[in-house]
Amino acid sequence: MRKHAFALGGASLLLSVSFIATQAQTIETTTPPDPPEFAAQTEPVFVGVTDIMEYRALDSYNEPEWIKTNFVDTGKLPPVEERLPEEPLVFKTGNMPDGVGVYGDVMRHVIGGRPEGWNYIGGQSQGWGGIDIGLSECLTRTGPLFMIRAEELEPMPNLAKSWEWSEDGHELTMHLIEGAKWSDGDPFDTEDIMFYWEDNVLDPNVFPLNGATPETFGQGTKLEAIDEYTIKWTFEEAFPNQYLYAMAYGTFCPGPSHILKPEHPNYSDNTYDQYKNAFPPEYLNIPVMGAWVPVEYRPDDIIVMRRNPYYWKVDEEGNQLPYLDEMHYRLSTWADRDVQAVAGSGDFSNLEQAESYVEALRRSADDNAPARLQFGARTIGYALRMNFSGNGWGEPDAREQAIRELNRTLEFRQAITLAVDRQRLGESLVRGPFTAIYPGGLYAGTTYYDKESTVYYPFNLEQANAMLDELGLTDTDGNGVRNFPEGTAGGQDVEITLLANTDYSTDTNLAEGVIAMMEPLGLRVIANFQQGTARDDMAQAGQFDWSVERQGAEVVSVVQGTSALAPTGPRTHPFHRAGENDELDLLPFEEELVQIVRDFIATSDNAERAELMKQYQQVFTENVYSVGLTQYPGALIINKRFRNIPEGAPIFMFNWAEDNIIRERVYVPTDDQPGHELHPQTLPDVPGGGGPVEG
Ligand code: GLA
State the distance from the centre of ligand 1 to the C-alpha of 86, rounded, in angstroms: 34
Does 57 have pLDDT greater than 70? yes
Residue 685 has pLDDT above 90, yes or no: no
Torsion of CA 395, 401, 404, 405, to 10 degrees: 140
Question: Of all atoms in ligand 1, which is nearest to the CA of residue 133?
Answer: 12
What letter does residue 456 receive in the DSSP assignment? B
Q: Given ligand 1 and candidates 109, 331, 658, which is best to mutate, with the most ligand atoms within 8 Å of its CB?
A: 658
Fold agreement between 2-30+379-632 and 49-375+635-672:
no
49-375+635-672 CATH, one of 3.40.1500.10, 1.25.40.20, 3.40.190.10, 3.40.1390.10: 3.40.190.10
User: What is the pLDDT at residue 192?
Assistant: 98
pLDDT greater than 90 at residue 688: no
pLDDT tens digits, 559-579:
999 999 999 999 999 999 999
pLDDT in tens, 465-517: 999 999 999 999 999 999 999 999 999 999 999 999 999 999 999 999 999 99
Per-residue confidence (pLDDT) for residue 95, from 0 to 100: 98
The tens digit of pLDDT for each residue in 530-555 reads: 999 999 999 999 999 999 999 999 99
8 Å CB contact between 161 and 55: yes
What pLDDT band is residue 2 in, cutting at 50, 70 and 90? very low
In Å, what is the CA distance from 55 to each residue of 92, 165, 307? 10, 20, 21
Bridge partner residues of 7 (DSSP): 16
**Contact (Cβ atoms closer than 8 angstroms) between residue 621 and residue 437:** no
Query: Could you tell me if 52 and 95 are in contact, meaning their C-beta atoms sit under 8 angstroms apart?
Result: yes
**Predicted pLDDT at 687:** 63
* pTM check: above 0.85: yes
| CA 344 to each of CA 300, 347, 367, 664, 670: distance values in angstroms, whole numbers, following the listed order | 21, 6, 13, 21, 18
pLDDT of the residue at 20: 87
Report whether 244 contacts 159 (CB < 8 A).
Answer: no
The pLDDT of residue 692 is above 80: no
Mean residue pLDDT of the chain comes to 95
* Residue nearest ligand 1's atom 5 by CA: 129
Q: Who contacts 564 (Cβ-Cβ below 8 Å, separation ≥6)?
A: 211, 216, 552, 554, 572, 573, 574
CB within 8 Å of 366: residues ≥ 6 apart = none
Q: Ligand 1 within 6 A of 488 CB?
A: no
Task: Kindly report the number of other CB atoms within 10 A of residue 583's CB atom.
Answer: 13
The predicted pLDDT at position 256 comes to 98
Residue 428 has pLDDT above 90, yes or no: yes
- The predicted pLDDT at position 40 comes to 65
Overall average pLDDT of the 368-382 stretch: 95
Q: Compute how many other C-beta atoms are within 10 angstroms of the C-beta atom of residue 204.
A: 11
Asked whether the predicted pLDDT for residue 268 surpasses 80, the reply is yes
pLDDT beyond 60 at 8:
no
For residue 487, the number of C-alpha atoms closer than 13 Å in the C-beta half-sphere is: 2
Is 250 a residue whose pLDDT tops 60? yes
Please state the atom number of ligand 1 nearest to the C-alpha of residue 132: 12
Residue 476, classified by CB atoms within 10 Å of its CB into exposed (0-12), middle (13-18) or buried (19+), is middle
Task: Please list, in sequence order, all residues whose beta carbon lies within 8 angstroms of the beta carbon of residue 498, skipping any fewer than 6 positions away.
Answer: 384, 511, 514, 515, 525, 526, 527, 528, 544, 545, 546, 547, 548
Tens digits of per-residue pLDDT, 174-204? 999 999 999 999 999 999 999 999 999 999 9
Instruction: Give the pLDDT confidence of 633-665 residue by residue, as tens digits.
Output: 999 999 999 999 999 999 999 999 999 999 999
What pLDDT is recorded for position 415?
A: 98
**CATH architecture label of 2-30+379-632:** Roll (3.10)
Q: What is the pLDDT of residue 691?
A: 47
Instruction: Quote the pLDDT of residue 693.
Output: 41
Instruction: Tell the residue nearest (CA) to atom 2 of ligand 1.
Output: 129
Ordered by start, the domain boundaries in the chain are: 2-30+379-632, 49-375+635-672
Q: What is the pLDDT of residue 23?
A: 74
Q: Above 70 in pLDDT, residue 625?
A: yes
